[in-house]
Amino acid sequence: MRNFTFQNPTKILFGKDQIAGIAREIPDGQRILLTCGGGSIRRNGVYDQVMAALAGREVLEFAGIEPNPTYETLMEAVRLVREQQVDFLLAVGGGSVIDGTKFIAAAAPFAGDPWAILAERAPIERALPLGAVLTLPATGSEMNCFAVVTRRASQDKMAFGHPLLYPRFAALDPTATFTLPPRQIGNGAVDAFAHVMEQYLTYPVNAPVQDRFAEGLLLTLIEEGPKALANPEDYDARANLMWCATLALNGLIGAGVPDDWTTHMIGHEITALHGLDHAQTLAIVLPNVLAARRERKREKLLQYAARVWGLSAGDENERIDAAIASTRAFFERMGVKTYLRDYGIGTDAVAPLLAQLERHGLTALGEHQDVDLATSRIILEASVAP
């Protein structure tokens, strides 16, 4: 096992009716800015629950944070926070709202152009405190200190993070997910699955607890994801999916082990250029990363085949092929198509995507920093069609 530092101070309020408890988590007298997306929280009752919980408190609102939140939109919120002297940010929504709110939290007190937080990884010294009410199990943003923000003008999708950006609390009520469209549930399960794989499917470092925790999350996603899709009001399936998605990216399974993130880096470029959902890009890219890196990932691929998919027939290469095919089939079962062609994107998209990777300096990806543009080309070409 590698050396590591692990700390995660976010307080999780998990279960039915837990939104009612959020007021206790926000200090009295603070001016709160509720941030949200396109309006779903007004239709599914979550907005009313939040406002009931905060009755008597001073609450401003900023709506309209989009999927793959943009710098342009978030800077409008930053202006509001500064003008209105907001003390506490409350993100109500999915990963995009929470990610965007982390940027607002860091940018509002930032001296200088906040774009530097993204483009130059300028050091964050202060941040507004934030909390989250999660409505979409997927990104894990509710229990980590990372975020991804897109600059619409330049089609840049950039990640950043800082320990000051852990949500102080996150309320996770599985019933808040009952009204999600199937596409969001499918995307969420794929996103969580890919997060686990980025930290698990690398090479062995004799870290059996981390491996088994990762496998436990994968097995549960495979088991509970389809149930959550089939029956939107299956509380336990939604609850298990939600807790999996949070634990998939809260730092625990990645502590002491190598991590990959090739799939995410390539996927970000697909979203930036073609507007696909984040999870759609992961479902397209991940199977081809596993295939292209099968030699470097051989030991873990065999472990994955055996422990997650129960594959024991055939020789090593056959078991690896079957594990990759099973991965793809799971994504398809969750309703997420796994080839660029399924989204109307052809071979001509490969060169511009490689140019984006090059422009962003993403020419040495993966746990060995050896996924160069030639390898990314192999991955992308295999991603177009079977």
CA R_g for the chain: 20
255 to 294, contacts with its own copies by CB under 8 A?
A: 255-256
- What tokens does 340 get? 């660029």
Nearer to its own copies, 2 or 42 (CB): 2
Whole-number Å distance between alpha carbons of 197 and 219: 12
How near is the Cβ of 51 to its own copies at its closest, in Å? 22
Interface with its own copies includes 165 (CB under 8 A)? Answer: no
How near is the Cβ of 115 to its own copies at its closest, in Å? 31
Interface with its own copies includes 368 (CB under 8 A)? Answer: no
How near is the Cβ of 24 to its own copies at its closest, in Å? 11
Whole-number Å distance between alpha carbons of 195 and 291: 18
Total number of residues that touch its own copies (CB under 8 A):
40
Between the CA of residue 90 and those of 59, 169, 204, 301, 337, what are the distances in Å?
A: 9, 10, 40, 40, 33
Interface with its own copies includes 230 (CB under 8 A)? Answer: no
Whole-number Å distance between alpha carbons of 320 and 299: 10
Interface with its own copies includes 370 (CB under 8 A)? Answer: no
Interface with its own copies includes 208 (CB under 8 A)? Answer: yes
How near is the Cβ of 8 to its own copies at its closest, in Å? 7
How near is the Cβ of 221 to its own copies at its closest, in Å? 9
How near is the Cβ of 16 to its own copies at its closest, in Å? 6
Cβ contact 255:4 at 8 Å: yes
- What tokens does 20 get? 């009612």
Q: Which of 51, 59, 119, 219 binds its own copies (CB under 8 A)?
A: 219
**What does 67-112 look like in DSSP terms, one character per residue?**
SS-BHHHHHHHHHHHHHHT--EEEEEESHHHHHHHHHHHHHTT-SS
Residue ranges binding its own copies (CB under 8 A): 1-18, 206-209, 212-213, 215-217, 219-220, 223-224, 236, 239-240, 243-244, 247, 252, 255-256
